[in-house]
Structure formats: C-alpha cells, structure tokens
Structure 1
Amino acid sequence: MVERKIISEEDLQYFLLIHPLELYTSLNRDFFKGTAVEKTADEFLVGAVLDEEEVGFLIIIICVVF
C-alpha cells in the first residue's frame, strides 16, 4: 500500500504499531510486561524515539498477536 502511495509510511506505522500499543495499554499499562517487547513498548509509552529496528520488531510481534 505504501509502494502504491495509498497510505504514507507514517500512516502504516500508526496502523501497525502505535494504534495496537495504545489499544492494548489503554486499559492495562502492563499489558506487554514479561514479553519480548516490554522494554520497547515502555520506551514508546514514555515518549522515547524508537529506531527502525525496534519499530520493525514491534510490528512483527504485534502482528503475531493479532
């Protein structure tokens, strides 16, 4: 979809990463506690900037959860 310019990379990142993080942590801040993405999710939630490798890792893990 990004290659066809249907959505931007930022929109795709929001859809695959930010939205699920906000969804799962909105009611339970510790949803990712004890998982492989705990540290990265916590960094995102406190406003830290994630590098591309961390973003890719979170996208893979969250897609597996769905």
Structure 2
Amino acid sequence: MLPLDTFLRVVDTTPLIAIDLIVPNEDGGYLLGHRVNRSAYRWAAADEIVVDHTVHPNTQAYFSAVAAR
C-alpha cells in the first residue's frame, strides 16, 4: 500500500486533469482517483498529457527529490 505521506505528496505535485484515474498494482488491485470538485465551465489551452509520453529529465529529478523528503 502507498504510504499516506507519499500519496499526499503525489496529490500536491501532480496536475489535476479532467479524467478519472485508474492505476493497477502488482497484486491485481487498483488505485482509483475521482474528482470531487465541480468541473470548470471553460477550458483553457495548456500543455497536454500523453499516454506513454517521456517525462522531461528535470521533471523526473524534481519528483525524485520530492519523494526523498
């Protein structure tokens, strides 16, 4: 199970996107993310998140540093 402090760090440091999140684990279970706040009325163009997209090395270093705290 993901420790609570790690989970909260992930929530604080990842983008909020307008999809539900389903992440499978090795034991056949799933981490489910569901937005509980109202969605925005307008959509503003920003960056995109792509499946199997390589994360920029600086972003990887940032998340590694955050995870080490």
Higher strand residue share: 2
Q: TM-score, normalised by structure 1?
A: 0.34
Q: TM-score, normalised by structure 2?
A: 0.33
Work out which of the two has the higher radius of gyration on C-alpha atoms and give 1 or 2.
Answer: 2
